[in-house]
Amino acid sequence: MTGLAVRNVSYSYGSKRALDDVSFHVPQGAFCALLGPNGAGKSTLFSLMTRLFTTSEGEIEIAGHNLARSPRKALAQIGVVFQQPTLDLDLSVQRNLSYFAALHGLSGRLAQDRITAALERLDMAERAAERARDLNGGHRRRLEIARCLIHAPSVLLLDEPTVGLDAASRKAITHHVHDLSRQDGMTVLWATHLTDEIAPDDQVAVLHRGRLLKQAQCSALTAGQPLQDVFLTMTGETA
């Protein structure tokens, strides 16, 4: 099975159950929003999908590779943007990207071509020589997205990538990533708690208190209602 599959995954921090029997599937080329309030278990799920933690309960498959059985093949297919910024602020944009390329075993001309292509994709080619510290929040995020494309992954995992950004930057980044899925056929899992980042034809998986409440296409889930209201009703919160 291609795309991203999470099957019966559970995880506990000591006695606290953070994820409880979570299963969903994002087909190749689809954009799926993992929607959940703060503390729903989104970041734990991301840590499991990127193998920062492992769990013995359930399994995760990335582009057809089982993460527990072939971790290196699976990790090579993932492009990830963590909620927390992971740029080295004192290095230039170019150095940040070439460091990342090297972590994926890419060097020389091939790495440079990929870096140039990724920067152009995100309209950042002219910024290659700038220090990451001199970029504004929106551009830093964009740089992280450019970076996660360098090793040509087929699955993108983004954990609340628009946190702390202004409305224009949020819109631009949401738009860019939707394009990556529509035009390049990348599988995208986009964790968020902001319903305005989700398009009607996106998949939505609603996570609440460690359990997956529902997965459906956004328009089918809302049936004409605002997604915000549907989400708040499902999670039992009031607006």
Partner 1 sequence: MTPALVALQAITIREGLRFVRQRSRFIAALIRPLVWLVVFAAGFRAALGLSITPPYQTYITYEIYIVPGLCGMIILFNGMQSSLSLVYDREMGSMRLLLTSPLPRWWLLFCRLFASTAISVLQVYTFLAVAALYGIDMPWQGYVLVLPALLVSGLMLGALGLALSSAIRQLENFAGVMNFVIFPMFFLSSALYPLWKMAESSALLRDICAINPFTHAVELIRFALYGQFNAMALFWTMLAGLVFAGAALWGYDPARGMKRQ
Question: Which 112-151 residues touch partner 1, going by CB under 8 A?
Answer: none
Output 106 or 204, the one with its CB closest to partner 1: 106
Measured CA to CA in angstroms, residue 106 lies from 17, 64, 66, 100, 135 at distances of 39, 23, 23, 9, 25
Output 18 or 34, the one with its CB closest to partner 1: 18
Stretch that binds partner 1, among 19-27, 88-96, 112-120, 134-142 (CB under 8 A): 88-96
Q: Which of 21, 29, 35 is CA-nearest to residue 160?
A: 35
- In whole angstroms, what is the distance from residue 161 CA to residue 146 CA? 13
Pairing, β 4-13 against β 59-62: antiparallel
Output 80 or 122, the one with its CB closest to partner 1: 80
Residue from 10, 23, 28, 47 touching partner 1 (CB under 8 A): that is 47
- In whole angstroms, what is the distance from residue 224 CA to residue 230 CA? 10
Q: Tell whether residue 152 is a contact of partner 1 (CB under 8 A).
A: no
Closest approach, Cβ 147 to partner 1, in A, equals: 9
Q: Tell whether residue 100 is a contact of partner 1 (CB under 8 A).
A: yes
Closest approach, Cβ 48 to partner 1, in A, equals: 9
CB within 8 A of 159, min separation 6: which ones?
Answer: 42, 43, 46, 80, 81, 82, 83, 191
Q: Tell whether residue 183 is a contact of partner 1 (CB under 8 A).
A: no
Helices (H) and strands (E) in the chain, counts: 8, 10
Residue from 38, 84, 109, 236 touching partner 1 (CB under 8 A): that is 84
Residue from 1, 103, 216, 220 touching partner 1 (CB under 8 A): that is 103
Residue from 1, 8, 57, 102 touching partner 1 (CB under 8 A): that is 102
CB within 8 A of 225, min separation 6: which ones?
Answer: none
CB within 8 A of 219, min separation 6: which ones?
Answer: 200, 201
Could you list the residues that contact partner 1 (CB under 8 A)? 13-14, 16, 18, 47, 50-54, 56, 71-73, 75-76, 78, 80, 82, 84-88, 90-91, 95, 98-100, 102-107
